[in-house]
Amino acid sequence: MDRALQIVSIIISITLIIMILLQVRGGGLGTLLGGDIGGGIARTRRGLEKTLFQITIGLAIAFLSVCILSVFFYSR
């Protein structure tokens, strides 16, 4: 069971990294590291950008859940 959790966490983490990098389109490295491209103006996510954002949130929750499960299985 612990081997399966390790494999699932690796797959989810790689997918999560890819999804985060896909969201940072056209911003450059400064935006990736926290730079401000819009001058403080909030934008509404639409279409594919909104879908990528929602998938990223789901993957982050799944990764956290798998990590918590692995802690419970390793502590036995």
CA distances from 27 to 16, 17, 21, 30, 73 (A): 19, 16, 10, 7, 41
State residue 32's pLDDT score: 55
Q: Residues 15-31: pLDDT tens digits?
A: 999 999 988 765 555 55
Domains in the chain: boundaries = 1-22+49-76
State residue 7's pLDDT score: 94
State residue 75's pLDDT score: 78
CA distances from 42 to 21, 28, 36, 37 (A): 20, 18, 11, 11
Q: Residues 36-74: pLDDT tens digits?
A: 555 556 567 788 888 999 999 999 999 999 999 999 888
Question: In this structure, what DSSP letter does residue 43 have?
Answer: -
State residue 74's pLDDT score: 81
